Each structure stands twice: as C-alpha cells, then as structure tokens.
Amino acid sequence: MLTIRQLRYLDALARCQHFGRAAEECAVSQPALSMQIRELEEFLGIDLFERRPGAPVLTEAGIEIAQRAGAILSATRDLVDLAHHRAKTLSGTLRLGVIPTLAPYLLPHVLPRLQQEHPDLRLELLETLTKGLLAELGRGTLDVLLLALPVDAPEFETTHLLVDRFLLAVPADDPLPDNARVTPRDVDTRRLILLEEGHCLREHALDFCAKARINSNASLGATSLATIMQMVACGYGVTLVPEVAVDVELRDNRVKLLRFAEPQPSRGIGLAWRRTSPRKADFALLGQMVVSAVNGPGPRRTH
Amino acid sequence: MLTIRQLRYLDALARCQHFGRAAEECAVSQPALSMQIRELEEFLGIDLFERRPGAPVLTEAGIEIAQRAGAILSATRDLVDLAHHRAKTLSGTLRLGVIPTLAPYLLPHVLPRLQQEHPDLRLELLETLTKGLLAELGRGTLDVLLLALPVDAPEFETTHLLVDRFLLAVPADDPLPDNARVTPRDVDTRRLILLEEGHCLREHALDFCAKARINSNASLGATSLATIMQMVACGYGVTLVPEVAVDVELRDNRVKLLRFAEPQPSRGIGLAWRRTSPRKADFALLGQMVVSAVNGPGPRRTH
DNA sequence: TAAAAATACTCCATAGGTATTTTAT
DNA sequence: ATAAAATACCTATGGAGTATTTTTA
C-alpha cells in the first residue's frame, strides 16, 4: 500500500542523497527510513535508487517518481493549509519569499503594518534569488513570493502590483546635468556596475543596455545594491537603481540620480503562488498592502 | 498524521454520501471508515460532513477538501502507473473511454489489432457521453478518451487524430439527386432527427444547422445512430451521419447519403488524457492505431 | 421500529527504535 | 578503519473487525 509517509521519505532522500541525513530531516531513525524506501520500491516494482557506496543516486525512473512525489506532497500541504486557514485571511503561518533587490526596501514598510493589522499572522521570510524562491514555492515550503515579473512557469499564478522604474546612479561630479534625461548610450560610455550573476535586476539592466555588456565589470563582485552605491560614490562607475530602493540607498551626496528618457527601463513587481494554493485571498490582501506601502509614505521620489 | 487512506475514504464518502456504501466500496467495515473520517476531521480541525440522519452531506469546506483529495489520489494513481508501465508501452491495464458515436465504428477495427500486436495489454472500455468520460478521466478511473474535439479543460491534453465529415442521410425516395451537394437550407426544409440531449454529435449538427433547430423532433427519443437510420429509412426525416459510421450504418437501401457543399460540416476526433499522465507514449501509439484503422480497411467511402 | 452512524473492545499488522552486521572505500 | 546502509529483533501504535449502542425519522 502506498503511503504519504513513503513519499515524504522519498522526497527527503531524493534531496539529501543520503539515508542518514534524510532520516534526520524526517525525524526518524535511519533504518526506519531505509525500510520505507525499500517497501516503496517493492510496491512500485522498480528500483528508485542505485545503492552506491558513496551516495545513493536516483535512477532515471526514480527522478520522475520523486518529482511526482514532491508534487503530491505539495498538494497535501495545500489541502491541510486550506483546512486550517479557511475563512480567516492572513492568520496562521505565511511563508513569504522575497528577492534581495526588493526585501530591504519593501519589507520595512509592509511588515509593521502587517503585524499591527493581523496580529495572529506569523510571517516566515526567506530572501534569496528568484530561482531558489521558485524551487521552494514549488515544493510548498514557501506560500507566496514577492519578486520581479514575469514568472515563466505554468504551475504558478501571479498578480502585477506595481511598475518599478530604474534610475541611473552616477557620481555627483559626472558632467551630465542633474535634470538630464539619460539614454542607453550614456550608460554605454561609462562603466556599468551590476549585481553578481543570478540577480534578476542584473538581467533587466543588461536587457536594457545590451551594448554596455562589455563594460560591466563582474570582477568587482557586488552582492548588494548598497555596496554598488558605494562603488558609484567612489567613482568606479554607474549603475541602475530601482525606484523602490531610492529612499534607502540615496543617503550619499556623492551620488546623483538621473531619469531615463522614454522608454524608461523598468521591472514589474508582483506576487507569485502555486495555482493550487488555497490562500489566494491572503495573497490579494498582501498585494494590496505592498502597493499601499509603496504609495503610502508620501509622494514617491522620482528624481 | 494525514494518510492516503483517509483521502481515499473521504473521496468514496463524498461520492457515495453514505458511510455504509462508501465502506463497501473501500472494502472495509463501516466503523473503520467512520473512524478514519473522524480522524481526518480531527487532524484538519474542521467538520467535513454534516452528520444528518438521512445522508451525510459535505460542508462547504468539505467540498473543496474532497475535490483536492480526489486530485491527490489521481496523482498517486499516475505515480504508480508510471512505475508499473515504465518503458513497456501498451502493456498492463489501459482504461479507455469512448463516446457512443465513435465506439461502434472505430473499436471493431482497433481492438483486434491491439489484441494481436500487444497481447500483454488488458483493455478496459467505458462507453458514455463526453461529460461522463471527462469526469472519470479526471478521477483517474480512466486513462485516455477517444472523443470529439475540442476538449475545453486545462487539466487535459489532447491530440487530433482525424477529421470526420458529416453526410446527410435522406430517404431513398427524396427528390434530391444522388450526386447533389446539399446545404444547410436543404436540411432546413426537412425534419432533422437527432440523438438525445448530451451527445456531442447532436451539438455539432445543431451548430451547423442552427436554422433547423425548430424542426428537430426530440420526442422521437433516438438514442443511437442505428435507430435514427431506421427512422430515416421509414421516411420520418433526415439526419447527419458521421463518415466513420457510414460503413456500418448504411446497410439499408431505403436510405441514401449526400455530401454537403463546402464548407462541409465535420468534427475533429482525437484522444484526451490528464496532463500529468505517465503513459503518453501509450496514447501516441493508440492514436496511430486509430488513424490507421480508419484509413486502413480500403479507401474510405465518401459517397 | 428500522436504518444508519457512532462506540466499545479486541487483535494483529506494521512503523519505529536500538543494537548489530555488512559493504565498499 | 571508517562511514553508511542493511539487517535483526523488539515494542507499541493504530487500523480493522465484530458486536453493540445511540440516534432519528
């Protein structure tokens, strides 16, 4: 008889590639997990793992089965969540994933209000790159993501919340006048500093300034916008700053921000969740909060 | 702890609306099922059923939960199927659903060859209306459907196999010449006999001859093409006959078949399966067989 | 009173734990 | 020799069955 427990152990083992660690993750002894995996293999009539001395490695069939097991586990989590959170919006535990180029700028506005207006909500946060967030979302270990659109995955739904324009940050002594409308060409003639590989903001910037690609200097190893702004302040180059980050990052008068001429580069910001998620009402509310958090604290700075 | 067993019992109870019958379907005693349902409710923290004296009826939350339970069960069936049928195409048990206006005409050509070329395939057949077939497919009690396209459901995938044109069957003494190309107007001036409500063929015919709608005489209660052809032979009216049925149904020289002028009415015929089905290779093979079964036995009669 | 679901109880299959052995590096 | 997985054996949870009670039409 197939059991959910077997699928859970399979899922853990597929990820850990190690019986002992998988057992630990499942909070059972290693033999217990071993037995269940064996029974599963017996029931299915196929080997899921090659028992190699080093690490157990999934067979081809095992990969497919493990993937389906993951999907089933995700569906069961949603079922249980639905039962627990039915009707009471924004209560219980909500696991939110946010990309690094949004979290420091949006969360400080959203979290306090969320705490205040929904005291029975326990928010768990994960900040990492889009790719990682999507994986966690699919596994069901995250409920909803706050990220840059579009999300190209049919199993997820998204809503658009706002458009976040990019501004060009240049050293204060740059010859461009303060009220200039810059173009990709202006970027092209300067050294463009970008976040390290994997940040979607980096991709957005490169999409817009394709010609500037050769000028971007990855060896500088910038891992946060704050660091990049420091680099700009010191005259190492220029960068694209998302509008949402301006309030936080523009504390240094050695940097000035310039608007782009139309079409202005921008990114869409929105939420993403599993199409099957039972908490869509929660997400709608959360989305409203993010929007009003951005628009709320005074008129937005544009320049 | 949530178990698959609980979901199975819930699914059965939701469908049977009766603890005793649901237990019987699950091959367990009534108390056993009662206990598991109770435990499930306890684990989820909500009532799934109103225990009414007459019949247990799902609560609003119960409906949603039961639906998700069904989806999970369907996914587990696919997982097990994948394990069992991996690599060996067209072996094991394949559950095929066919609409009534295709089954009698296509299966006699397909089944013998299927038996011969894939002796280790056990085919289970269900013939009913499209609506019923789709429900069974979704539940996972059918693997694949042979029906008229399009299928409007995002959880299913389809392939187009062939175009099945409709011909007009009229009594042999009808004034229209044998080689006439008829038009919807010709149908309009005669009494159109159709299958009873629910047959997609009826809808296709009505779509084409919208004006003839008022002439269709439902009170004649035709439930099969064979019956309708008898009615045509007796001069009660005319009907649209799908080309695939011609060989079987045109044994009566009191009926003659006329082609339509362009655009000829037709229906697409194809296969449908769950997007998540592990047996897509099987379906591709099955589809090829249906196509060659239609084209195979000599040149097709068109007139 | 009859039909259906819930309770009571007993039994046994099985998941899990600890201790130990096997296996390959 | 070491690390990791499999095996052995014991315990206990809990799922299922039969018998019975409760509930309501």
CB contact under 8 A, A75 and B80: no
pLDDT above 70 covers a percentage of chain B that reads: 91
Of the candidate ranges A226-230, B86-90, B109-113, the one whose mean pLDDT is the lowest: B86-90
Query: Does A63 contact chain B (CB < 8 Å)?
Result: no
Q: How far apart are CA A15 and CA B18, in angstroms?
A: 42
Residues of B in contact with A75 (CB under 8 A): 68, 71-72, 75
Grouping H, G, I as helix, E, B as strand and the rest as coil, residue B139 is helix
CB atoms within 10 A of CB B298: 7
Residue B64 clears pLDDT 60, i.e. is over it = yes
Residue A284 clears pLDDT 70, i.e. is over it = yes
CB contact under 8 A, A82 and B64: yes
Specify whether the CB–CB gap between A255 and A145 falls below 8 A: no
Asked if strand C comes closer than 7 Å to B95 Cβ, the answer is no
pLDDT per position as a tens digit, A22-71: 898 888 888 988 888 888 888 888 888 877 666 777 877 888 888 899 99
Residues of B in contact with A8 (CB under 8 A): none
* Strand D: positions under 7 A of a protein C-beta atom: 4-8, 15-19, 23-25
CB contact under 8 A, A1 and B2: no
* Strand nucleotide closest to residue B51 (CA to C1'): C5
User: Residues with Cβ < 8 Å from A53, sequence gap 6 or more?
Assistant: none
Please, which pLDDT band fits residue B214 given cuts at 50, 70 and 90? low
Q: What pairs with residue B162 in β-bridges?
A: B269
Q: How far apart are CA A121 and CA A88, in angstroms?
A: 10
Query: Does A62 contact chain B (CB < 8 Å)?
Result: no
Please report the pLDDT score of residue A280 as a whole number. Answer: 86
Query: Does B2 contact chain A (CB < 8 Å)?
Result: yes
pLDDT per position as a tens digit, B71-101: 999 999 999 988 887 767 777 788 999 998 9
pLDDT above 90 covers a percentage of chain A that reads: 27
Asked if strand C comes closer than 7 Å to B50 Cβ, the answer is no
Residues of B in contact with A64 (CB under 8 A): 82, 278
CB under 7 Å from any atom of strand D: which residues?
A 18-20, 30-31, 34-35, 37-38, 51, 55-56; B 1, 3, 5, 27-29, 31-32, 35-36, 39, 52-54
CB contact under 8 A, A44 and B84: yes
Residues of A in contact with B84 (CB under 8 A): 44-45
Please report the pLDDT score of residue B182 as a whole number. Answer: 92
* Strand C: positions under 7 A of a protein C-beta atom: 4-8, 14-19, 23-25
CA of B37, closest CA in chain A: separation in Å?
Answer: 14
CB contact under 8 A, B79 and A69: yes
pLDDT, average across residues B35-56: 80
Query: Does A269 contact chain B (CB < 8 Å)?
Result: no
- Strand (E) positions, chain B? 49-50, 57-58, 92-98, 121-127, 144-149, 156-171, 181-182, 239-242, 255-260, 266-274
CB contact under 8 A, B79 and A61: no
pLDDT, average across residues A285-303: 73
Residue B220 clears pLDDT 70, i.e. is over it = no
pTM: 0.73
pLDDT per position as a tens digit, B263-289: 899 999 999 998 888 888 889 999 999
> Between the CA of B238 and the C1' of D15, what is the distance in angstroms?
62
Residue B55 clears pLDDT 90, i.e. is over it = no
Of the candidate ranges A55-59, A242-246, B130-134, the one whose mean pLDDT is the lowest: A55-59
Per the document, the length of chain B is 303
Grouping H, G, I as helix, E, B as strand and the rest as coil, residue A103 is helix
Grouping H, G, I as helix, E, B as strand and the rest as coil, residue B14 is helix
- Closest alpha carbon within chain B to A43: B80
Residue B219 clears pLDDT 60, i.e. is over it = no
**Facing residue for B3 by CB, picked from A3, A80, A86:** A3
Please report the pLDDT score of residue A163 as a whole number. Answer: 96
Asked if strand C comes closer than 7 Å to B84 Cβ, the answer is no
pLDDT per position as a tens digit, A177-200: 888 899 888 888 888 888 888 899
Residue B110 clears pLDDT 70, i.e. is over it = yes
Q: Specify the higher pLDDT residue, B186 or A148.
A: A148
**Facing residue for A64 by CB, picked from B44, B72, B82:** B82
Residues of B in contact with A27 (CB under 8 A): none
Please, which pLDDT band fits residue A260 given cuts at 50, 70 and 90? very high
Of the candidate ranges A23-32, A278-287, B218-227, B247-256, the one whose mean pLDDT is the lowest: B218-227
Q: How far apart are CA A251 and CA A169, in angstroms?
A: 12
Could you give the C-alpha distances from A19 to A1, A12, A213, in angstroms and in order? 22, 9, 45
pLDDT, average across residues B202-206: 87
Please report the pLDDT score of residue B159 as a whole number. Answer: 95
Please, which pLDDT band fits residue B221 given cuts at 50, 70 and 90? low
| Residue lying closest to nucleotide C23, CA to C1' | A53
Please, which pLDDT band fits residue A76 given cuts at 50, 70 and 90? very high
- Closest alpha carbon within chain B to A78: B68
Residue A240 clears pLDDT 80, i.e. is over it = yes
Please report the pLDDT score of residue B164 as a whole number. Answer: 95
CB atoms within 10 A of CB B3: 17
Q: What angle is formed at CA A243 by the lines to CA A239 and CA A249, rounded to 5 degrees?
A: 65
Specify whether the CB–CB gap between B157 and B134 falls below 8 A: no
Please, which pLDDT band fits residue A220 given cuts at 50, 70 and 90? low
Please report the pLDDT score of residue B236 as a whole number. Answer: 85
Please, which pLDDT band fits residue B251 given cuts at 50, 70 and 90? confident
Query: Does B83 contact chain A (CB < 8 Å)?
Result: yes
Count chain A–chain B contacts defined by CB atoms under 8 A: 75
Q: How far apart are CA B243 and CA A192, in angstroms?
A: 67
CB contact under 8 A, A76 and B278: no
Query: Does A72 contact chain B (CB < 8 Å)?
Result: yes
**Helix A30-44 / helix B60-85 crossing angle, nearest 10 deg:** 70
Q: Return the structure tokens found at A48.
A: 């899921």
> Between the CA of B139 and the C1' of D16, what is the distance in angstroms?
27
- Strand (E) positions, chain A? 49-50, 57-58, 92-98, 121-127, 144-149, 156-171, 181-182, 239-242, 255-260, 266-274
Q: How far apart are CA A75 and CA A72, in angstroms?
A: 5
Per the document, the length of chain A is 303
Q: What angle is formed at CA B155 by the lines to CA B153 and CA B160, rounded to 5 degrees?
A: 65
CA of A69, closest CA in chain B: separation in Å?
Answer: 8
Please report the pLDDT score of residue B300 as a whole number. Answer: 45
Please report the pLDDT score of residue A96 as a whole number. Answer: 93
Grouping H, G, I as helix, E, B as strand and the rest as coil, residue A148 is strand
Q: What pairs with residue A222 in β-bridges?
A: A195
**Which residue blocks in A209-296 are alpha helix, DSSP H?**
225-233, 243-249, 280-295
Query: Does A82 contact chain B (CB < 8 Å)?
Result: yes
Q: Return the structure tokens found at A213.
A: 């690609």
User: Residues with Cβ < 8 Å from B62, sequence gap 6 or more?
Assistant: B14, B46, B47, B48, B49
Helix, strand, coil percentages (3-state) for chain B, rounded to 5, are: 45, 20, 30
HSE of A90 in the Cβ direction (CA atoms, 13 Å)? 16
> Between the CA of B87 and the C1' of C22, what is the distance in angstroms?
33
* Strand nucleotide closest to residue B32 (CA to C1'): D16
Domains of chain B: 4-83 (1.10.10.10), 91-162+268-295 (3.40.190.10), 163-266 (3.40.190.10)
> Between the CA of A53 and the C1' of D2, what is the distance in angstroms?
13
Query: Does B3 contact chain A (CB < 8 Å)?
Result: yes
